[in-house]
Amino acid sequence: MAEAPAGLRILLHKHVKERAPVHISSHADRDRITEIFKNAILHRGQPASFALQAVQEAIKPQRQTVLVQDENQLLENALRTLLQELVSCAVQSGEQIMRFGQSIDDTENTCGQIPRLLDVVLYLCEKSHVEGGMIFQLLEDLTEMSTMKDCKEVFGYIESKQDILGKQELFGRGKLVMLRTCNQLLRRLSKANDVVFCGRILMFLAHFFPLSERSAVNIKGVFNTSNETKYEKDAPDGVPVDFNFYKTFWSLQEHFRNPASATLAPTKWQKFASNLMVVLDAFEAQPLSEDDANVNILEEEETAFSIKYLTSSKLMGLELKDPSFRRHILLQCLILFDYLKAPGKNDKDGPSESIKEEIRTCEERVKKLLEMIPPKGKEFLQSIEHILEREKNWVWWKRDGCPAFEKPVIERKAGQDGMRKRKPRYRLGNKELSQLWKWADQNPNALTDPQRVSTPSVMEYWKPLAEDMDVSAGIEAEYHHKNNRVYCWKGLRLSARQDLDGFSRYTDYGIEGVVPPELLPAELRSKFHSKASERSKRARKDEETRASITRQEEGQRLRWTVVGVVLSLKRQQRLWMQLLAHPKVGN
């Protein structure tokens, strides 16, 4: 193999880490291992058919399928050397490194020698034949030896193998190496020209690492102080704008960029507070109308977004009329106030009482201004307050050491092909009923226990309702037993069996009339239950009425009987007179 150019060799060896010495008999052993794997990656078929055999042929391990530490180190050095040689040959040939070499038919796909080598090592790591972090080390070397154009294809390979690389047996060994690899890529990329690639890397990290990963949550709360907002220091000629207000307005960004510096010294806070008051006074003096909001909506329909607002003094007047611009500035104020009031700050780190009072005053003004900005100012303010409230939970979680809150993934066991998983059969339809009947079979006396099957008396059952009816008890309406439909229904059934007189009072007085009079106070007893004399009089009157009706009915029946007899006699008399007048009829 031809030797790589000097410049490329410098690039290849620039970032290679120094490692502890490994027991290698000679360079011939490393060259032999390299040659074996160089031939192995030319094999057709899946890596499972030849990868382990290549390792056993190259290393001759002490164990049959797992390498010990020295053997892992020897194999890793040989594979890194092979990867370096393949990249060097790709650069000399002018081909892209991920497509260099003889194309190998892998079912329907074709791939170069470098992806093939990575596939073989990934298989060995996944099956625990070699140390799990070996694949991550090769990927880091490959990104360091590649140009940015080639890095996109290398990272595409990483994305395609994300599920395998994220397995616990590999993730624990290589997560720091992968994090270092991605951070090095981000440092090499241009934030303006490689926005999409940067986004791919960040999205990969978000999916690759768990939510509770400490390296991704900014434990110390460090601010991005490099995000400097540059604005004009000297007033330009011929610009009709209050340049003092312009400088005061944009100077707030120095404090928004690093909120911790606002309270380091009383003079800094006083300067920030005075500048903020000037800006808030200007916003209050120039309230926005619905027309300004409508113009802003038309502009937003074009879905044009910018990373930062322009700071030209010529645009100051137009930006102040933009509702979106005002919301961004006021929102920055709330974020700064929320940081200064962050939970858990001790008296030494937190602001003084006078500063806290100024913060409360400014916060109220900012919220009123946000509520007045059209459109939907109240809804926008409510959303911001909700987000800031949730942010406190995030702060507490970080200060507690970022405890893991993710539940482990439950892997489904692979069933046999062609077999349907049967659902367990339960007696009487479901598991709960089966358990109930099983318990009853084991405890037969429970079904005949007198305490379980006994029926309470009417006096005992209606006692809670009688206590609720007492005004001196002060029972609230929502806790009153008369509003419990199940209780009332059971009580009516009980009274219908044991107290028919009380059950009859339900139609006149409702459920409270069913309560026995012995349980009620005197004032309630007179309301729902009449005196004995009145009941007896009413009973006698009812009896007299029924007797009178009976006598009337009997007299009526007697009259109809007499009338019937008279009519019958008259009819017989007419028949006899007809017979006497015509005697031949009888013959």
**What are phi and psi for residue 212, nearest 5 degrees?**
-90, 10
Q: Are residue 187 and residue 87 in the same domain, yes or no?
A: yes
Burial of 232 (0-12, 13-18, 19+ CB in 10 A): middle
pLDDT-derived band at 362 (thresholds 50, 70, 90) equals: very high
Task: Answer whether residue 264 is part of any domain.
Answer: yes
| Alpha-helical runs (H) found in 94-210 | 113-126, 134-144, 148-160, 162-165, 168-188, 195-208
Residues 6+ apart with CB under 8 A from 193: none
Please say if the pLDDT value at position 303 is more than 80: no
Please report, rounded to a whole number, the percentage of residues in the chain having pLDDT higher than 70: 80
Which range (209-218, 365-374, 427-436) has the least confidence? Answer: 427-436
Task: Evaluate whether 12 touches 75 at the Cβ level (below 8 Å).
Answer: no
DSSP 3-state helix, strand, coil percentages of the chain (rounded to 5)? 70, 0, 30
Task: Answer whether residue 333 is part of any domain.
Answer: yes
pLDDT tens for residues 542-563? Answer: 667 777 777 777 777 777 776 6
Task: Answer whether residue 187 is part of any domain.
Answer: yes
Q: What is the pLDDT of residue 558?
A: 73
Q: Are residue 284 and residue 353 in the same domain, yes or no?
A: yes
Strand 109-111 and strand 104-106: pairing? antiparallel
Q: Name the residue with higher pLDDT: 306 or 369.
A: 369
Residues 6+ apart with CB under 8 A from 391: 338
pTM attached to this predicted model: 0.54
Measure the CA–CA gap between 450 and 9, rounded to whole angstroms. 95
Q: Are residue 58 and residue 115 in the same domain, yes or no?
A: yes
pLDDT-derived band at 279 (thresholds 50, 70, 90) equals: very high
3-state secondary structure 210-265: CCCCHHHCCCCCCCCCCCCCCCCCCCCCCCCCCHHHHHHHHHHHHHHHCHHHHHCC
pLDDT tens for residues 497-552? Answer: 888 888 888 887 888 888 888 888 777 777 776 544 455 555 566 667 777 777 77
Q: Are residue 259 and residue 383 in the same domain, yes or no?
A: yes
Please say if the pLDDT value at position 244 is more than 50: yes
Measure the CA–CA gap between 480 and 491, rounded to whole angstroms. 15
Q: Are residue 486 and residue 390 in the same domain, yes or no?
A: no
Q: Any bridge partners for residue 104, and if so which?
A: 111
Sign of CA dihedral 532, 537, 543, 545: negative
Considering only CA atoms, which of 194, 179, 333 is closest in space to residue 253? 333
Q: Are residue 152 and residue 295 in the same domain, yes or no?
A: no
Q: Are residue 175 and residue 28 in the same domain, yes or no?
A: yes
Measure the CA–CA gap between 309 and 314, rounded to whole angstroms. 13
Q: Are residue 500 and residue 557 in the same domain, yes or no?
A: no
Please say if the pLDDT value at position 310 is more than 70: yes
Task: Evaluate whether 460 touches 519 at the Cβ level (below 8 Å).
Answer: no
Q: Name the residue with higher pLDDT: 365 or 65.
A: 365
Considering only CA atoms, which of 125, 114, 101, 223 is closest in space to residue 178? 125
Mean pLDDT of the chain: 81
Task: Evaluate whether 68 touches 144 at the Cβ level (below 8 Å).
Answer: no
Please say if the pLDDT value at position 327 is more than 90: yes
Measure the CA–CA gap between 250 and 230, rounded to whole angstroms. 9
Q: Which residue has the tokens 């929320």?
A: 338
pLDDT-derived band at 194 (thresholds 50, 70, 90) equals: very high
Task: Answer whether residue 411 is part of any domain.
Answer: no
**What are phi and psi for residue 106, nearest 5 degrees?**
-115, 90
Which range (200-204, 313-317, 449-453) has the least confidence? Answer: 449-453
Q: At which of 511, 528, 545 does a domain end?
A: 528
Q: Are residue 486 and residue 539 in the same domain, yes or no?
A: no
Which range (275-279, 314-318, 519-523, 576-580) has the least confidence? Answer: 576-580
Token pair of 353 as six digits: 């009482």
Q: How many domains does one find in the chain?
A: 5
Measure the CA–CA gap between 181 and 135, rounded to whole angstroms. 12
Q: Which residue has the tokens 């991704």?
A: 216
Q: Are residue 94 and residue 198 in the same domain, yes or no?
A: yes
Q: Are residue 437 and residue 469 in the same domain, yes or no?
A: no
Q: What is the pLDDT of residue 433?
A: 74
Considering only CA atoms, which of 139, 149, 155, 141 is closest in space to residue 15? 141
pLDDT tens for residues 64-118? Answer: 677 778 888 889 999 999 999 999 999 999 889 998 876 554 444 567 899 999 9
Could you count the other beta carbons within 10 Å of the beta carbon of residue 280?
A: 18
Q: Any bridge partners for residue 111, and if so which?
A: 104
Task: Evaluate whether 280 touches 362 at the Cβ level (below 8 Å).
Answer: yes
Considering only CA atoms, which of 116, 127, 36, 118 is closest in space to residue 74? 36
Q: What is the pLDDT of residue 155?
A: 96
Token pair of 564 as six digits: 């019937």
Q: At which of 384, 399, 414 does a domain end?
A: 399
Q: What is the pLDDT of residue 428?
A: 57
Task: Answer whether residue 223 is part of any domain.
Answer: no
Task: Answer whether residue 232 is part of any domain.
Answer: no
Q: Are residue 23 and residue 165 in the same domain, yes or no?
A: yes
Q: Name the residue with higher pLDDT: 214 or 283.
A: 283
Q: Which residue has the tokens 């920030």?
A: 272
Q: Which residue has the tokens 């079979």?
A: 441
For residue 355, the enclosing domain spans 243-399
Token pair of 116 as six digits: 């093939």
Which range (10-14, 178-182, 438-442, 481-485) has the least confidence? Answer: 10-14
Which range (145-159, 173-187, 564-578) has the least confidence? Answer: 564-578
Q: At which of 165, 192, 209 does a domain end?
A: 209
Mean predicted confidence (pLDDT) in 341-349: 66
Q: What is the pLDDT of residue 297?
A: 55
Mean predicted confidence (pLDDT) in 5-24: 41
Task: Answer whether residue 230 is part of any domain.
Answer: no
Q: What is the pLDDT of residue 294?
A: 65
Measure the CA–CA gap between 86 and 268, rounded to whole angstroms. 59
Token pair of 110 as six digits: 């074709």
* 3-state SS assignment for residue 580: helix
* 3-state SS assignment for residue 109: strand
**CA distance between the termini of the chain:** 159
Q: Any bridge partners for residue 206, and if so which?
A: none
| Alpha-helical runs (H) found in 127-147 | 134-144
| Alpha-helical runs (H) found in 352-376 | 353-372
Task: Answer whether residue 220 is part of any domain.
Answer: no
Task: Evaluate whether 215 touches 242 at the Cβ level (below 8 Å).
Answer: no
Measure the CA–CA gap between 241 and 443, rounded to whole angstroms. 92
Please list, residue by residue across 478-513, b when 16 or more beta carbons sit within 10 angstroms of its beta carbon and e when fewer do.
Answer: eeebbeeeebbeebeebbeeebeebbebbeeeebbb
